[in-house]
Amino acid sequence: MIPRLRAFVAVLPVVCLLFSIPLLSSRAGAGAMPGFEEDFQLGSSAGGRPIVGHRFGSGDAKVALVGGIHGGRESNTTRLVETAVAYFRDHPDQIPPGVQVDLVPCANPDGCDSGRRTNAHGVDLNRNWDSDWSPDAYWGGMPINAGPHAFSEPETQSLRDFLTGEGFGAVAFYHSAAARIFVGTCGGGDAPEKTIDMVERLSHATSYLYWTGGFGGYAVTGAASDYLACRDIPAFDVELTDTSDIEWENNLRGILVLLQMLRPA
């Protein structure tokens, strides 16, 4: 018995390794099939904090959902995207075949950590993109730091490279709190018909009105959605109603509508 026991003990690690190979392969190839989650890092903030993303599904049709670009002042947008991450973990069947969804809960980890709107350099990251960038930037009619030049911040550099390099068919940035959807446009021109079609359906699903003529009360320069629009990437800002409620049911309907719109025929 003892020799047999010793032989069993000797091969036990090999047996365990063989049984573990499928699991390890699944995690390594997380984007290979719907339902698998792949966590990744886009880059780091000015304060050295990681910018983390979560990927579900696989395919050429790609959607990005980005929260927290204005940090802790709009913390419900981070909670909204985190809730979406948890939802897709529990409901992988809700991701259509051929569709990949990438979720970035907090694009501004310095601001999410400090509770401020800006990063560790004091820069408003949604005024730092190369889309009508201006050193004279505003938030609510008050001056805000747009950085020394467009893409001066590591966060916007990382987001730019990620959002323009993956072939996204739609990018939604979550903000609060105007209870509207603002369509990204290039140079203040008309939004492309495909973007308007998406936003109309998104508006119907979420009950947020949509707006195509700029932010409204004051000029917004250096905005992410406008930069992407100039690169023919449909992009829009989804503004929640207030700074506390994530309005989950409405926004989940909107997310699922986006995924279905991009589903390959």
Q: Please state, in angstroms and rounded to a whole number, the distance separating the CA atoms of residues 150 and 130.
A: 5
Domain, as residue range, for 74 = 33-262
The predicted pLDDT at position 141 comes to 84
Dihedral angle computed from the Cα positions of residues 210, 215, 221 and 222, in that order, rounded to the nearest 10 degrees = -30
Condensed to tens digits (0 to 9), the pLDDT of residues 146-172 reads 999 999 999 999 999 999 999 999 999
Number of domains in the chain: 2
Q: How far is the C-alpha of 255 from the C-alpha of 87, rounded, in Å?
A: 11
H or E element: which one contains 98? none
Are 178 and 216 part of one and the same domain?
yes
Q: Is residue 22 domain-shared with residue 65, that is, in the same domain?
A: no
Q: Are residues 108 and 195 in the same domain?
A: yes
Same domain for 19 and 48, yes or no, is no
Q: Mind listing the pLDDT tens digit for each residue in 103-130?
A: 999 999 999 999 999 999 999 999 999 9
- Clarify whether residues 5 and 67 are in a common domain: no
Q: Is 215 exposed, middle or buried (0-12, 13-18, 19+ CB in 10 A)?
A: middle
Residue-level pLDDT at 16: 37
- pTM for the structure as a whole: 0.86
CATH number, domain containing residue 241: 3.40.630.10
pLDDT computed for residue 182 by the predictor: 94
DSSP annotation of 127: G
CB 35 within 8 A of CB 93: yes
Peptide bond into 30 cis (omega under 30): no
Using DSSP bridges, classify how beta strands 180-183 and 235-240 pair: parallel, antiparallel or unpaired: antiparallel
Q: What are the residue ranges in the chain where pLDDT is below 70? A: 1-35, 213-217
211 beta partners:
182
Task: Mark whether 50 and 84 lie in a shared domain.
Answer: yes
* Same structural domain, 11 and 55: no
